[in-house]
Structure 1
């Protein structure tokens, strides 16, 4: 009698678009460009802090927004384009980390907050505020997903 071998199926994770819909931000394309230029809503910031499990002040520090600026943006209801772009980069990196850990948000958050050898011993959250830093993180995540370590 032969034993049937079960096919490996990774945990079902939320569709990519669900993450972006939850934040209230388009994931790509002209609509994202338009949203960034018009000013990302302050609600996106609060949803991103909530979704990532970070304190509001922590997230502001990682995306380089001072407490005084954060208060002004809360009062205005939206961020300036450069600030919204940094929020988008953080969201993109966070979503990629969650995907890397198959939907496990706690593991993704720990990884983002821990020094990573592939990033020269820096914590990913320390690099997310710049395009070059975000690209380095996303590149590393891609290599880890495909088993490329060098």
Structure 2
């Protein structure tokens, strides 16, 4: 028997669990506010753990200077620009995990290896600009849909 619309209670998606695990709202106004106010430093630690990147490498790919990272650890929050870079990395990590159907080890390997569709560049090296990040996300979308050209 089908449940009525009033009885329908959607379950949390894998996507929302990912965002909850790193401590960032999945979407909408709460996400925008969090990015404007600055993400808490704990997000950085969670991204490091989930991605398998050590904190030094994560700082490098998100273009956050070591001295800045130390200041943010003390203050407890990143600024808006740094938060946006961390969010871009999180989006890329999530998209790669989805591409490999939840296999985070395969996703991590793909992110850190040169990819032909990106001119032999590593996806994690393409986070410095939104245009580069968009190129990686576009490639992931094409791969998900079987479009290799």
Q: Deviations over 1:73-103 (max 9, x none)?
A: 0000000100000000000000000111111
Partner of 2:46: 47
Moved more, 23-32 or 67-76: 23-32
Report the alpha carbon displacement of residue 15 of structure 1 after superposing the two structures with TM.
0.9
Q: Which runs of 5+ in 2 are unaligned?
A: 1-12
The structure 1 segments of at least 4 consecutive aligned residues displaced by more than 3 Å after TM superposition are none
C-alpha displacement of 1:47? 0.5
Number of residue-to-residue matches in the alignment: 137
Distance 1:16 1:127 in 2: 22
Deviation at 1:120, TM superposition (A): 1.2
Q: Is the 8 A contact 1:89 1:129 kept in 2?
A: no
| 1:143 corresponds to | 142
For residue 130 of structure 1, report the CA deviation from its aligned partner. Answer: 1.5
Greater relative CO, 1 or 2 (CA 8 Å, sep 6+):
1
Where does residue 10 of structure 2 map in the other structure? none
Residues 32-56 of structure 1: CA distance to partner in whole angstroms, max 9, x if unpaired? Answer: 1100110100001101101111101
Q: Given the two structures, how large is their TM-score scaled by the length of structure 2?
A: 0.89
**Match of 2:17?**
18
| Runs of 5+ unmatched residues, structure 1 | 1-13
Deviation (angstroms), 1:27: 2.0
Q: CA RMSD in A?
A: 0.9
